[in-house]
């Protein structure tokens, strides 16, 4: 299964709106006779790839797959049927398919007399397929908030300068995160301060994500902005109540969408932004926006993962990494569970996920 997870991860950034899936086929004597992964939407599924390599050697053997085999016919046939046709005796999978359309493969295989086991290395498989599983379960894109900050939590100095707080190694990793996401999201503050490009660089065979600029008043994205070049597609989201013609200067360079304002009148409704992206086929979002947009999504409970790059530097003043997130007291803090800590060049990368509401915490003295 660990090998199947490694294979699945090779599909990150290429399979959306489908999941990443890996499969290893073992002969009856335990030898590996076939491997495969889902390479792109519309292409062969992992099981089909692995079975095609295994051929007759799969008969009586075991298929190990990271996601419950699908049980429906879409652009390809059901993997449950392919496994039955190959004559495998056993199927082991990590995570059940949460979608009504594709789920049921395990039950179909069991009814046919196949020995089926689920849940092996489930947490690891959940992590590899985090974005797709989150989108499938919640009906909106999974949101990963990425930021780079000093150890005292500043994303810019007092004079507004922010390049470069983190190291070249951390910035290279961010391009990998962009490559794995369907969309990269920033707000007007970041657009004004940094004139970001948001496209992927330095990743071989990268599929460029949709660049999404939240520009409520249509005042931050101007003709000539780097986000409007032809390196990738761009969507500019503005308030629905703006006068007609306010975005005319950029409509030839970007797709402009009008969305409702947030209930408090500050910015756009975060839920409406994600709903629009989901409608457009986006299943994973990398939030690179500044402290205001991050605070709005966090306050709305729409951040699913946090990846922070902490530089060994202190500024003492300047922009904080997070503005108002709807937290008025320590007891209401958004508590996180750290899932990974690693050195990246001189920086420290911390990955965490929000704890479910009501999860007990360990209190200090």
Encoded tokens for 194: 């940094």
Q: 233 φ, ψ to 5°?
A: -75, 150
* CA distances in angstroms from 178 to 38, 86, 259, 288, 297, listed in the order given: 20, 38, 24, 10, 19
Q: What is the number of H-type helices and E-type strands within the chain?
A: 10, 14
Return the axis-axis angle of helices 2-9 and 46-54, rounded to nearest 10°: 120
- Buried residues in 229-255 as b, exposed as e (16+ CB within 10 A): eeebebbbbbbeeeeeeebeebeebbe
Q: Which position among 47, 49, 173, 180 bears the catalytic label?
A: 47
Rounded Cα distance, 231 and 227, in Å: 8
Is 47 tagged catalytic? yes
| Residues 245, 240: Cα–Cα separation, whole Å | 12
Annotated catalytic sites, by residue?
47
């Amino acid at each position: 299964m660990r090998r199947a997870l490694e294979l699945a991860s090779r599909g990150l950034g290429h399979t959306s709106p489908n999941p990443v899936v890996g499969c290893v086929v073992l002969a009856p004597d335990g030898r590996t006779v076939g491997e495969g992964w889902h390479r792109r939407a519309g292409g062969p599924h992992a099981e089909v790839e692995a079975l095609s390599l295994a051929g007759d050697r799969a008969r009586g053997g075991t298929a190990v797959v990271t996601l419950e085999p699908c049980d429906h016919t879409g652009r390809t046939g059901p993997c449950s049927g392919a496994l039955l046709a190959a004559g495998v005796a056993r199927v082991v999978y990590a995570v059940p398919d949460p979608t009504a359309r594709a789920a049921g493969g395990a039950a179909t295989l069991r009814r046919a007399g196949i020995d089926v086991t689920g849940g092996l290395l489930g947490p690891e498989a959940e992590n590899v397929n985090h974005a797709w599983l989150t989108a499938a379960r919640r009906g909106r894109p999974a949101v990963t908030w990425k930021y780079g900050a000093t150890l005292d939590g500043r994303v810019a100095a007092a004079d507004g300068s922010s390049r470069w707080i983190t190291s070249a190694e951390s910035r290279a990793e961010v391009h990998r995160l962009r490559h794995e996401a369907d969309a990269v999201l920033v707000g007007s503050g970041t657009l004004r301060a940094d004139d970001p490009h948001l496209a992927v660089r330095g990743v071989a065979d990268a599929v460029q994500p949709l660049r999404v600029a939240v520009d409520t008043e249509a005042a931050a994205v101007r003709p000539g902005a780097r986000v409007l070049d032809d390196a990738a597609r761009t969507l500019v989201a503005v308030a629905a109540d703006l006068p007609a013609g306010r975005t005319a200067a950029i409509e030839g360079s970007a797709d402009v969408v009008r969305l409702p304002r947030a209930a408090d009148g500050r910015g756009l409704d975060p839920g409406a932004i994600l709903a629009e992206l989901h409608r457009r086929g986006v299943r994973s979002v990398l939030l690179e926006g500044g402290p205001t947009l991050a605070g709005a999504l966090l306050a709305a409970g729409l951040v699913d993962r946090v990846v922070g790059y902490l530089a060994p530097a202190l500024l003492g003043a300047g922009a904080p990494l997070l503005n108002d997130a709807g937290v008025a007291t320590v007891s209401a803090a958004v508590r996180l569970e750290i899932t990974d800590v690693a050195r990246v060049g001189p920086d420290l990368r911390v990955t965490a996920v929000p704890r479910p509401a009501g999860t007990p915490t360990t209190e200090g003295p």
